[in-house]
């Protein structure tokens, strides 16, 4: 019996003197009792609605509502509270009606004080019985709802109880389990082991726990974590849990751990609070910390406030309803020495269901060398900009002055050397134009459009000094390209063909399987020189700048195309541009 807890009693009686006397005697008989007296059933219901009560005592003969009517109303709301009908005007009929209505006991008022001793004992007994039952029910509910399978075997090994979780382990129901022998749920060889080894251990030691092989009702087997304990009633309480998934998860975890440790880049896992749960060997080697210095610590140990806020902002983007699965971003990681390392952080969140965030995972890559290359490239680009400015302004201005003076000289002097000077100045202008194109050209093409190659070839032909050369178009398609950059390519290929093939050369623009070509019927390019034609400064003519084909190659690379030099069908040079996205007209 449970003892020691206080007991609250509600006494409903329209006789205040008797109610007060009952209260005094009951509280004197048992110091655990606290008695509250009210004079009507309505007052009693109001008190029950607001206060936890362990037992109700009620008179029968009361105005407006008698004790049995009050009992029925109480039972509607409090079906298991002990209710004693305590009356001085009772009869067998009233007693029978009270019991039928759900009274716990019927007690008739008598003279003398002994009745209070009996009443106090009954109250205590009924309350403790109710509390014991509630506790047992709570324990049973806990067993029924437990995630672990729980069952009871009788002395002959038959199931006499099983909860839902136990039945689910064997893919059946509790009703189907009860009455079956335990050997039904083990393979034959395993059943022999359980009988000779495990049950013998339970009989000798009273307890056994370990792993066994279970068998489901469909015949499939699985690994189970099992515990058995003997009771004084010669029954065995069993707990069982299917750990097949846990074993497989452990195997996968070991595989993943091996894989992660093999990754040369630092890898980390943060919990939902932003604390490190895992880092690989590369992480501690790169940043100079020991494992115990990192694990359990906040991410701020390796990031300053700005970098920490940046990481949280990117995590918020991933967790947003329309966010990406992962994010790449640049950040700075603080080594234990205090030195910052520029890193690229590839962050994602751990799998989760519903709205419960489980944490994040990421791979850090040291991008110090890349940053150095980017800085070197920026310095080179600045120098190129400065160079282009010098070429465009500081060289062109003197050339313009020279050309102007040459024009004045031509009017005052008739010398054959004037044409030589003009030719030299023209070549210098061509060099400046080609150098500016090389210096200012972007390495990538961002915006492309569908371009008709025949139309663009015709337009470019008009801008080139073609003399008596001929252009032929054998192409019926458009290409996706940057118009101005493609025009640079065509113009330089046309100039190259005319410079090397002569004024009467025929140039053809045609289509190939995945691109187009430009070829001529000139002398062609020797096979041993074809690998060098795209190098800046390469030329075989006295007047050539050596930059035209370098510009062509730059345009090809910016588009992500490929270019190859071969021999044309007429024996001249053929430039094949492939990897081009084409649209058939």
| pLDDT, the chain, mean | 84
Q: CB under 8 Å to 514, separation ≥6 — which residues?
A: 578, 579, 580, 582
Residues 50 and 157 in one domain: no
Co-location of 486 and 403 in the same domain? no
**Helix-helix angle 483-501:453-463, to 10 degrees:** 60
**What does the alpha-carbon distance between residue 403 and residue 395 come to, in Å, rounded to a whole number?**
12
Rounded CA-CA distance 116/81 in Å is 20
C-alpha 463: how far from chain center? 57
Q: Are residues 350 and 416 in the same domain?
A: no
pLDDT confidence tier of residue 1, bands split at 50, 70 and 90: very low
Q: Which domain holds residue 457?
A: 443-584
Angle between helices 368-389 and 417-440 (to 10 degrees): 150
Structural contact between residues 173 and 166, judged by C-beta atoms closer than 8 angstroms: no
Q: Cα 5 to chain center, whole Å? A: 51
Half-sphere exposure (Cβ direction) of 142: Cα atoms closer than 13 Å:
6
Overall average pLDDT of the 502-512 stretch: 90
pTM score above 0.85: no
With a cut of 70, say whether residue 202 has pLDDT above it. yes
pLDDT tens, residue by residue, 77-127: 999 999 999 887 767 888 888 888 899 999 888 878 888 999 999 999 999
**Cβ within 8 Å of residue 182, ≥6 positions away:** 153, 157, 158, 159, 194, 238
Structural element, H or E, at residue 348: strand 340-349
Here the CATH number for the domain that contains residue 572 is 3.30.565.10
Domain boundary among 405, 439, 473: 439
Please list, residue by residue across 542-558, b when 16 or more beta carbons sit within 10 angstroms of its beta carbon and e when fewer do.
Answer: eebbbbbbbbbbbbbbb
Is there a contact between 152 and 238 (Cβ–Cβ < 8 Å)?
Answer: yes
Q: For residues 459 and 504, is the Cβ–Cβ distance under 8 A?
A: no
Number of domains in the chain: 5
CATH number at residue 50: 3.40.50.2300
Query: Above 90 in pLDDT, residue 13?
Result: yes
131 in the same domain as 170: no
Is residue 183 a contact partner of residue 201, using CB atoms and an 8 Å limit?
no
Same domain, 15 and 110: yes
Q: What pLDDT is attached to residue 201? A: 87
Alpha-carbon distance 96 to 326, whole Å? Answer: 75
DSSP class per residue in 219-233: S-EEEEEEEEEE-TT
How far is residue 40's CA from residue 19's CA, in Å, rounded to a whole number? 12
pLDDT value of residue 132: 80
Residue 114, domain member (yes or no): yes
- Report how far residue 323's alpha carbon sits from residue 360's, in angstroms, rounded to the nearest whole number: 14
Residue 253 is assigned to a structural domain of this protein: no
Domain co-membership, 229 together with 317: no
**The pLDDT of residue 251 is above 80:** no
Task: Tell which of 143, 176, 205 closes a domain.
Answer: 143
Task: Indicate whether 62 and 108 sit together in one domain.
Answer: yes
CATH number at residue 305: 3.30.450.20
Q: Are β-strands 149-153 and 105-108 bridged in parallel, bridged antiparallel, or unpaired? A: unpaired
Q: Which residue has the higher pLDDT, 229 or 92?
A: 229
From 247, 274, 298, give the residue that closes a domain: 247
Q: Which residues on adjacent β-strands are paired with residue 346?
A: 328, 363
Instruction: Indicate if 456 and 580 belong to the same structural domain.
Output: yes
């Amino acid at each position: 019996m449970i003892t020691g807890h206080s007991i609250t009693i509600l006494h409903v009686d329209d006789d205040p003197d008797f109610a007060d006397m009952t209260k005094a005697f009951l509280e004197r008989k048992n110091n655990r009792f606290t008695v509250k007296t009210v004079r009507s059933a309505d007052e009693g219901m109001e008190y029950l609605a607001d206060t936890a009560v362990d037992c109700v005592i009620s008179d029968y003969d009361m105005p407006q509502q008698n004790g049995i009517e009050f009992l029925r109303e109480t039972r509607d709301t409090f079906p298991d509270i002990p209710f004693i009908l305590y009356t001085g005007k009772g009869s067998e009929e009233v007693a029978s009606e009270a019991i039928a209505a759900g009274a716990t006991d019927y007690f008739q008022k008598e003279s003398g004080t002994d009745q209070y001793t009996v009443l106090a004992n009954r109250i205590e007994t009924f309350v403790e019985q109710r509390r014991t039952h509630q506790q047992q029910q709570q324990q049973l509910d806990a067993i029924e709802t437990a995630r672990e399978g729980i069952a009871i075997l009788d002395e002959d090994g038959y199931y006499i109880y099983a909860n839902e979780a136990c039945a689910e382990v064997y893919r059946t129901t509790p009703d189907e389990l009860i009455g079956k022998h335990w050997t039904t749920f083990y393979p034959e060889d395993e059943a022999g082991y359980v009988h000779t080894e495990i049950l013998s251990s339970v009989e000798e030691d009273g307890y056994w726990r370990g792993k066994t092989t279970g068998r489901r009702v469909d015949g499939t087997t699985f690994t189970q974590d099992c515990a058995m304990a003997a009771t004084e009633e010669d029954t065995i309480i069993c707990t069982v849990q299917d750990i097949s998934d846990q074993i497989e998860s452990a195997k996968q975890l070991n595989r993943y751990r091996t894989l992660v440790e093999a990754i040369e880049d630092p890898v980390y896992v943060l919990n939902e609070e932003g604390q490190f749960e895992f880092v690989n060997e590369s992480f501690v080697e790169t940043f100079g910390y020991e494992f115990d210095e990192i694990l359990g610590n906040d991410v701020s140990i390796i990031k300053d406030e700005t970098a920490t806020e940046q990481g949280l902002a990117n995590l918020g983007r991933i967790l947003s309803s329309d966010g990406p699965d992962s994010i790449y971003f640049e950040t700075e990681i603080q080594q234990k020495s205090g030195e910052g390392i520029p890193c690229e952080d590839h962050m994602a969140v751990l799998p989760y269901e519903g709205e419960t965030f489980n944490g994040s995972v990421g791979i850090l890559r040291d991008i110090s060398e890349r940053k150095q290359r980017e800085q070197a490239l920026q310095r080179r680009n600045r120098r190129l900009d400065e160079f282009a400015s010098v070429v465009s302004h500081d060289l062109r201005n003197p050339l313009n002055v020279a050309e102007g003076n040459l024009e004045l000289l031509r009017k005052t002097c008739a010398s054959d050397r004037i044409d030589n000077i003009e030719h030299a100045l023209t070549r210098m202008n061509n060099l400046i134009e080609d150098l500016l194109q090389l210096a200012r050209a972007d390495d990538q093409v961002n915006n492309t459009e569908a371009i008709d190659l025949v139309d663009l070839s015709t337009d470019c032909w008009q801008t080139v000094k073609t003399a008596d050369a001929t252009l032929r178009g054998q192409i019926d398609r458009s290409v996706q390209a940057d118009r101005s950059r493609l025009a640079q390519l065509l113009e330089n290929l046309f100039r190259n063909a005319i410079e090397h093939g002569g004024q009467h050369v025929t140039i053809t623009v045609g289509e190939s399987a995945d691109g187009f070509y430009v070829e001529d019927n000139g002398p062609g390019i020797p096979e041993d020189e074809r690998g060098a034609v795209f190098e800046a400064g390469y030329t075989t003519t006295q007047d050539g700048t050596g930059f035209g084909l370098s510009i062509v190659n730059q345009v090809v690379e910016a588009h992500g195309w490929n270019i190859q030099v071969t021999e044309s069908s007429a024996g001249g040079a053929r430039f094949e541009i492939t990897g081009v996205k084409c649209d058939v007209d």
